[in-house]
Amino acid sequence: MDACVHCCCGRGFGAGNASLAAASLRTAGRAGHVGARVTWRAPQSAEGHVSAATLGPPVRPRGFRRRPLCWVRAAHDARRAGRGAGPGAPVHQLPHPAGQGAAQAAEDVGSGVALVAQRILSHGVTSFCPTLVTSPPEVYHKVLPQIPVKSGGPHGAGVLGVHLEGPFISREKRGAHPEAHLRSFEANAFQDVLDTYGSLDNVCIVTLAPELGRSHEVIQALTARGICVSLGHSVADLRAAEEAVQSGASFITHLFNAMLPFHHRDPGIVGLLTSDRLPPGRHIFYGMIADGMHTNPAALRIAHRAHPQGLVLVTDAVPALGLGNGRHTLGQQEVEVDGLTAYVAGTQTLSGSIAPMDVCVRHFLQATGCSVESALEAASLHPAQLLGLEKRKGTLDFGADADFVVLDDSLHVRATYISGELVWQAEEARQ
């Protein structure tokens, strides 16, 4: 089997011998050939434990041969967390698994997140950020302590931290979020946030609407704690969005969705992609749901061409991922799944996606006509950079986590490795 290896900060694709794949990647990175094309033929024994920090000197193991067939990226030498036989990619927004647990059994949401973590290994995900949608305070208080940051392994993808999407969002652009539980910032601002969420120890991203009063105080307080602030579900104009970035916000939640549409006199949050009023040395990252439903291919191309370095592929997947058509639970309400799309039951309001990350990568590649390298970076390198994990995720550089995936020529996942250990392998790859 010919395959390519790709590093992922939260995902990987691969099959074959871990030590050989890692050694080959390290050789390419050492030589300074970022994006070098390498072909390798996997031996029959597919198990192996390696660490990017302990790999030996560059070698060309028996069984490897050069050919312009496969792609290797060793993160900044290949980076953002993973695909290809390259670094694994962290999935920053795999929404709503936590929301499902909150609705069904707040006391045992951890088991639901564990199930999701195990399932997404087959899609090349090595780490992810479970998303909790708008909920009442008592649900946050029960659920958040049950979703600790956790390393990945055979049991499932690692948890990088929880993404809190709501409840501090616009009522007008709430989408599938239940209106009854939406909140605004009161006089105590950040204390109101703590009263709503409880402990923030397991939180890595918070999505809020920057037009809400006192939002800048909250943004500054969250970023001071090392939490990424994302702008979304908002009716903010461009000036309000720019001021939010100046206060510390660094991400846009699912660009184009649940925000004001682009207008030539005031492009709104979308205008951040080309704004000249961002702090020096800073640029904005933005999530794109490339499932073929949430974002038109033309919109994908516009965003990518305007600001390719900031594009982060996200799944926006609901708990029904992999469960088939029908009615399922999302947070505090029911959703109806039809194909790769989920709607609030009884409406035409999109509530999320059913497309896994590897499907999004392939669709993005086809829709934009970008290079394979660019598509993989959007799913691994860029998310890792957003979360400040580039030194250990999304790369196979010295000292980094050996999270990577092996893909076939059509970018289908053949195997997933976490810390150099094979954690998932396609059935046909085992033969």
Q: How many CB atoms are closer than 10 A to CB 159?
A: 25
Catalytic residues: 316
Contact between 176 and 350 under an 8 Å Cβ cutoff? The reply is yes
For 401, the token pair is 């986590």
The SS3 assignment for 331 reads coil
Helix axes 215-224, 190-197, angle to 10 degrees: 70
Give the H or E element holding residue 31.
Answer: none
Q: Any residues with CB less than 8 A from the CB of 290 and at least 6 apart, and which?
A: 300, 313, 360, 361, 363, 364, 367
For 353, the token pair is 């996606």
Q: In terms of Cα–Cα distance, which of 259, 256, 246, 160 is closest to 208?
A: 259
Cα gap 421→417, rounded to integer Å: 5
Q: Any residues with CB less than 8 A from the CB of 424 and at least 6 apart, and which?
A: 121, 122, 413, 415, 416
Q: In terms of Cα–Cα distance, which of 126, 71, 43, 31 is closest to 417?
A: 126
Q: How many CB atoms are closer than 10 A to CB 20?
A: 24
Range list of β-strands (E), 29-149: 39-41, 64-65, 81-88, 90-95, 127-133
The SS3 assignment for 165 reads strand
Cα gap 312→252, rounded to integer Å: 10
